[in-house]
Structure 1
Amino acid sequence: MAVYKAPLDDMRFVLNDVFAAEQVWASMPATAEVTRDLADAVLEEAGKMVEGVMLPINRSGDEEGCQWQDGEVTAPAGFKQAFRTMAENGWTALSGNPQYGGQGMPKMLAVLFEEMMHSANTSLALYSLLSNGASLCLDAHATEELKQTYLPNIYAGEWSGTMCLTEPHSGTDLGIIRTKAEPNGDGSFAISGTKIFITGGEHDLVSNIVHLVLAKLPGAPSGSKGISLFLVPKFFVNEDGSLGERNGVACGSIEHKMGIKGSATCVMNFDSAKGWLVGEENQGLACMFTMMNYERVSIGLQGLGLGETSYQSAVEYARERLQGRSATGVQNPNGNADPIIVHGDVRRMLMNMRALNEAGRALSAYLGMQLDLAKYSEDDAQRAAAEDRVALLTPVAKAFFTDRGLDNCITGQQVFGGHGFIREWGMEQLVRDARIAQIYEGTNGIQALDLAGRKVTRNQGKSVQAFLSEVRLWLEQEGDNAVLASVRAELDAALALLAEATGTLMDQAGRDPNAVNALAVEYLDIFGYVTYAWLWARMMVAADGRGDSFGANKQVVGRYFFERLLPRAQSLLTQMKAGSATMMELDADQF
């Protein structure tokens, strides 16, 4: 069975030492009451909750999976009780709007909690996280009446929420959806159509499910400009707040999946189901994208969280598994072999995992901070800069976290050798659970296209230049820091490499219509490695002078990243420079 203990020391280090979170929160009235002590207490209790409530039913949930019968879905044993415990202790409302019963905690803190949940039990976490996204969208765009009716119960964990976008013929290209919305004449709409891959579309954890459904009104413009968003509850809500009749929405089936088997992935049929417009007509995608940055970061954290569990499990196994002798002599004289952690190849795997996980945690906190500034800052310039940074880095975080997260899950499985392939050790479940994160919430290829196309070439690289300016300003402020000096040349070279990659992308895109598609994935990975290099430099500086093993270890792992992982970016640039010619040369019938 996989092991996991919330890495609270590292989380506190990122919040307090690297980013001085308390000062950030104090600068905004909406978060001013969140102190370091409060944040520490939240993390402490969150760790206890995920370790004691979510983790113990992770493997059993995978073994049992969800069950569908006559349109009703039953979650695995223990999930309902665990979800109720989470709700009763406020975890389903952590970053919700206090006006409607949420706790108003900053996203910078919530991302660390979300990582913990994914580490402990991704399937169970998804029920809560999709509800968070739905409530965020409603809070931003719904009428006051809809907010008052639905948000308090979603925050309380009495009801849950979904996102209903994908259809059998329409995944990435939402402009061709067929779900229709017909006006009923009383302010409501009749929604008809089929949605697939709906996480938490039907289950028994709550008494009502609130679906956010993309559909097209009669006469709507073609393509994505004609999409509207509707709230469609499973059960109608009476004037006194009690639940009424069943709406015309039903679960036709659930998917039988490779992983996240405890999460109900549903086919949802809407048969003249009554719904209410959220936001303006034909602005459904804009409304949905309010939550997309949050959701994509959250799904990125799925890769990060599972990679952390893989790392912790692999370390424990490597310390105990006896095989062979160390190259430098016997390390375990009382045994017939040394633990495999003495071997260089095992060390390589563990160091790769740790260096990527800790940099990913720092990026998630940084991005959470930018989300908070974009939402709560009262400084217009600061808010605009944060919005720009969120737009630029969200696709990087979603794709890079999940690609490296799967890498780390596979690497952890490799440390276990043959035992990693055996179900009872839990490592193969991590691989299966991590795989979907590269696919849903926009495939990682789409994230790369979003970055390279919309976020870079479309605005002539201005957002990238702003990001590079932030990094260089930090370098100037740190001045002659001795720790920074030890990696300054490598970091400077990495920043220059990202600038060159950006120039290469824009130059080729100006001459070749296939260039963005051909170069996007490599460009995103370069961005990820260079961003991690900056964050490792920040962590090394923050750890300097601690005088403890934590600080010393942080320096070693940081140097390892610069020496062994950052060089990957150079080879990616070489690939970019090759362009699209050979990639596009063969005709379709020649494959």
Structure 2
Amino acid sequence: MPEYKAPLRDIRFVSHELLEMDRHYAQLPGVEEATPDLVDAILEEGARFAEKELAPLNRVGDTEGCRWEEGAVKTPAGFKEAYAAYVEGGWPSLAHEPELGGQGLPESLGIIINELVGTANWAWSMYPGLSHGAMNTLEAHGSEEQKQTYLSKLIEGSWTGTMCLTEAHCGTDLGLLRTRAEPAEDGSYRITGTKIFISAGDHDMAENIVHIVLARLPDAPAGTKGISLFVVPKFNVQADGSLGERNGVSCGSIEHKMGIHGNATCVMNFDGARGFLIGPPNKGLNCMFTFMNTARIGTALQGLAHAELSYQGSLAYARERLQMRSLNGPKAPEQPADPIIVHPDVRRMLFTQKAFAEGGRMLAYFAAQQVDKAKHAADSDAREEAEQLLALLTPIAKAFMTETGFEAANLGLQVFGGHGYISEWGMEQNVRDSRIAMLYEGTTGIQALDLLGRKVLMTQGETLKRFTKIVHKFCQQAGEDPALQPFVEPLAAVNKEWGELTMKIGMAAMKDRDEVGAASVDYLMYSGYVVLAYFWARSAEVALRKLAEGTDEEAFYRAKVATATFYFKRLLPRTRALAVTMTAGADNLMQLEAEAF
């Protein structure tokens, strides 16, 4: 298994030097306590916990998996103890309100910690990870009684949370769901139905599990307009806050999966389980989007996590593995062969992983910065700007980062050659674990429809313009520096083309709505490459400035410039093909009758 080492130097580069998080925190009401010294101390301790407590359990979770015994789930050896240490360290409460037991630190800092935890052991990280979505949903839409009853315990970490949406007959199309919610005389509801693919649906790591469940009231209208949201605990909670009898919810089985074996993916049966309405009746999907958006940013981190773990593993191997000689002559004449890192194709694979991991980190942290602003900014215009940027970037981050994370994981395996296919190295586990990220919380195709259809075309491009203006302003400011021309000129060109392609697709869609679906995935991937190009150009600007000023970390900053150069020369040109395919029209996809396939 690759030995995970938290990339603290790059994390500090992105947060302190690129995004100026220190200044960002100082300007936000309510998070002023996030001083540089405190942030660094939290990062150091988070890195230690990830490296020492969680990383050693990554392969354990894969080989042992979870066990279903008489309706209950047993987690792999060490998982329960690691969770107890996580709670004792106060990690669940990091970015939540102090009045409910939280530490009141910014959400962006919590997202950085989630990266460390997730890269060390993604399957384990999903247990507390789902809880954050449940917390955010209750915080935004729960009653005061629900917050006191459930939210405080979730923040404390003694309870965990889940998101129960999917049913066997309906995946993304939630309008088809059948789970029922019957009103009871005491004001509660009786929830009946079966949910599938419920991550962390049952386990032995916490006292109670709080399920956030979508269901239909008896008089609900059909479709998505008739969905309500409920909180359903595994154990009923008594008036004094203590746990009462077992509720009518149980794990019917756990799925046998391709990867993330250490996390229990459950079939959950609700048999008249006692639940309580969250938010207004028939507005459950609106409320659930709070959870889903949290989960989508978390899933974007999964793409980053698998790219980073793959890069670390394959880089270490490429430095040690001896095979063939460099085409330009021996680089290690004292050895029987050269390390494979000297070969151009191995460099291509390493650079690609590095560019996606470090570029994804920039995008994820920038999105996290917008989460802070949307929640804490004193100015309403600043909050609105942040919310609009998040609306655009969330589907891009979720889909693009998971697609490129899977690509990076496969490249990492490829660097190992045949050894990568063997379990003991851990690279094939990383590939298997990464594959789910493109499926759950909305597939790449669903994210692409959301981006192009809802976020861009339905706003007449206004949401897109909020980001393209940022890129345009950067290009104007940086364009005067000759050293930045290799980055600024191609960035300005694709930024301009992004708007032109959007208009072209929009015009075609006015005649045939299938044009949106035909273009959407290519459009999203194009968007992702442009977004990362902006961050790599900014990264190059910072690195070149540091080198010009003089630094004792010359190798680090030269690597930034080299990776930015690789990105612009080798990865950004993928937009050329995407520009062609996204405008190829729907006719070539729809011309064949379904029966003729």
> Shorter-chain TM-score: which interval?
over 0.9
Give the corresponding residue for 1:585: 591
Amino acid at match of 1:68: W
- Alpha-carbon distance between aligned partners in 2 of 1:545 and 1:250, rounded to the nearest angstrom: 58
1:50 deviates by 0.4
DSSP-derived class of the 2:121 partner: helix
Contact 1:97 1:139 in 2 (8 A): no
Q: Does 1:393 align with 2:381?
A: no
1:3 deviates by 2.1
Amino acid at match of 2:578: L
Contact 1:481 1:541 in 2 (8 A): no
Please give the residue correspondences for 1:161-560 in structure 2 after superposition, counting only pairs within 5 Å.
Answer: 161-478=161-478, 480-546=480-546, 547=551, 548-560=554-566
Deviations 1:24-65 (CA, angstroms, capped at 9, x unpaired): 111121212211222111111111110001000100110000
Contact 2:471 2:492 in 1 (8 A): no
1:484 deviates by 2.5
1:291 deviates by 2.2
Amino acid at match of 1:575: T
1:362 deviates by 0.2
Amino acid at match of 2:473: L
- Alpha-carbon distance between aligned partners in 2 of 1:334 and 1:165, rounded to the nearest angstrom: 60
Between 482-491 and 396-405, report the one with greater CA deviation.
482-491
Between 262-271 and 106-115, report the one with greater CA deviation.
106-115
1:334 deviates by 1.7
Give the corresponding residue for 1:571: 577
- TM-score by structure 2 length? 0.97
Contact 1:315 1:350 in 2 (8 A): yes
1:104 deviates by 2.4
- TM-score by structure 1 length? 0.98
Contact 1:523 1:576 in 2 (8 A): yes
Q: Does 1:82 align with 2:82?
A: yes
1:83 deviates by 0.7
Amino acid at match of 2:3: V
1:276 deviates by 0.6
Between 468-477 and 243-252, report the one with greater CA deviation.
468-477
Long gaps (5+) in structure 1: none
Please give the residue correspondences for 1:152-163 in structure 2 after superposition, counting only pairs within 5 Å.
Answer: 152-163=152-163
Q: Does 1:7 align with 2:12?
A: no
Deviations 1:80-116 (CA, angstroms, capped at 9, x unpaired): 0001111110112222222211222222222222222
- Alpha-carbon distance between aligned partners in 1 of 2:108 and 2:241, rounded to the nearest angstrom: 33
1:577 deviates by 1.8
Amino acid at match of 2:10: D
- Alpha-carbon distance between aligned partners in 1 of 2:385 and 2:262, rounded to the nearest angstrom: 39
Contact 1:318 1:339 in 2 (8 A): yes
Give the corresponding residue for 2:567: 561
Between 257-266 and 510-519, report the one with greater CA deviation.
510-519
1:474 deviates by 2.7
1:500 deviates by 2.0
1:227 deviates by 0.6
Contact 1:293 1:390 in 2 (8 A): no
- Alpha-carbon distance between aligned partners in 1 of 2:539 and 2:39, rounded to the nearest angstrom: 20
Say how many residue pairs are matched.
Answer: 591
Contact 1:545 1:551 in 2 (8 A): no
1:479 deviates by 5.4
1:496 deviates by 1.6
- Alpha-carbon distance between aligned partners in 1 of 2:428 and 2:503, rounded to the nearest angstrom: 41
Contact 2:73 2:264 in 1 (8 A): yes
Give the corresponding residue for 2:125: 125
- Alpha-carbon distance between aligned partners in 2 of 1:122 and 1:483, rounded to the nearest angstrom: 40
- Alpha-carbon distance between aligned partners in 2 of 1:359 and 1:390, rounded to the nearest angstrom: 17
Long gaps (5+) in structure 2: none
Amino acid at match of 2:175: G
Give the corresponding residue for 2:114: 114
Give the corresponding residue for 1:25: 25
- Alpha-carbon distance between aligned partners in 1 of 2:339 and 2:532, rounded to the nearest angstrom: 31
- Counting aligned pairs with the same residue, the percent is 51
Amino acid at match of 1:46: G
1:482 deviates by 4.1
Amino acid at match of 1:589: E
